[in-house]
Amino acid sequence: DTGVSQDPRHKITKRGQNVTFRCDPISEHNRLYWYRQTLGQGPEFLTYFQNEAQLEKSRLLSDRFSAERPKGSFSTLEIQRTEQGDSAMYLCASSLTPYEQYFGPGTRLTVT
Amino acid sequence: ILNVEQSPQSLHVQEGDSTNFTCSFPSSNFYALHWYRWETAKSPEALFVMTLNGDEKKKGRISATLNTKEGYSYLYIKGSQPEDSATYLCALSGAGSYQLTFGKGTKLSVIP
């Protein structure tokens, strides 16, 4: 399968714990995006990388969130001191051009 | 800030019926409009990307139109099948930004 992959697919954690998600983009794609979808809402933009540079960050990305893309390949999204409001589907997408973003299946986070 | 509205929120149709959904958006600062289909437990799948006023795109039984002057797009499904059951998301990209702004989606259920 040469699509965008995300790991894990599901994560249950207790409030206050740190979690890290991984995204592997389509291999030739230099652009990578993170989105978050909460119940009843559409996906909301979190951050954007071009190669290893983080070029856009949403105000939704509080200081408890950090994203990295070392060497311009895979990306990680870490949430520190998780809160119940962080429960959501975290989606990763990649693209070669600005026109079309290819999404992974998402990581569903449940904070108890 | 782009505001993307989709209607209806959900829709139940009988197999064989044709249906359509609406996506409304502010006509200023428009760059491209995207339609995605998102089936449960799968990755959102890109259906269409449209940029020009009057654009019409078609993929099998699904088609879409775009009116950038009045700020709306329609997605049509002809002869709905149970496998069309999914959430259909509309998203906008604005000039100068790679992030997508999504609507809340239209959840379609096709009853056999």
Confirm if B74 and B97 have CB atoms less than 8 A apart: no
Looking at chain A, which residue has its C-alpha nearest residue B40?
A: A105
| C-alpha span between A104 and B89 (Å, rounded) | 15
Query: Which residues on chain B are in Cβ contact (under 8 Å) with A105?
Result: 41-43
Residue of A42, A44, A56 lying closest to B98 (CB–CB): A56
pLDDT at B30: 76
**Which is it for strands B56-59 and B45-50: parallel, antiparallel or unpaired?**
unpaired
**What average pLDDT does range A24-40 have in this prediction?**
95
Residues with Cβ within 8 Å of A36's Cβ and at least 6 positions away in sequence, in order, are A43, A44, A46, A60, A88, A89, A90, A91
A16 lies within 8 A of chain B by CB: no
**Of the given ranges (A21-25, A63-67, B91-95), which has the lowest mean pLDDT?**
B91-95
**What average pLDDT does range B101-108 have in this prediction?**
96
| C-alpha span between A61 and B22 (Å, rounded) | 30
A98 lies within 8 A of chain B by CB: yes
pLDDT at B48: 95
pLDDT at B85: 97
A27 lies within 8 A of chain B by CB: no
3-state secondary structure of B67: strand
Question: Which pLDDT band, with edges at 50, 70 and 90, does A48 fall under?
Answer: very high
Query: Which residues on chain B are in Cβ contact (under 8 Å) with A39?
Result: none
Question: Which pLDDT band, with edges at 50, 70 and 90, does B1 fall under?
Answer: low
pLDDT at A64: 95
pLDDT at A1: 55
User: What is the per-residue pLDDT across B70-104, written as a single tens digit (0 to 9) for each?
Assistant: 999 999 999 999 999 999 999 998 877 788 999 99
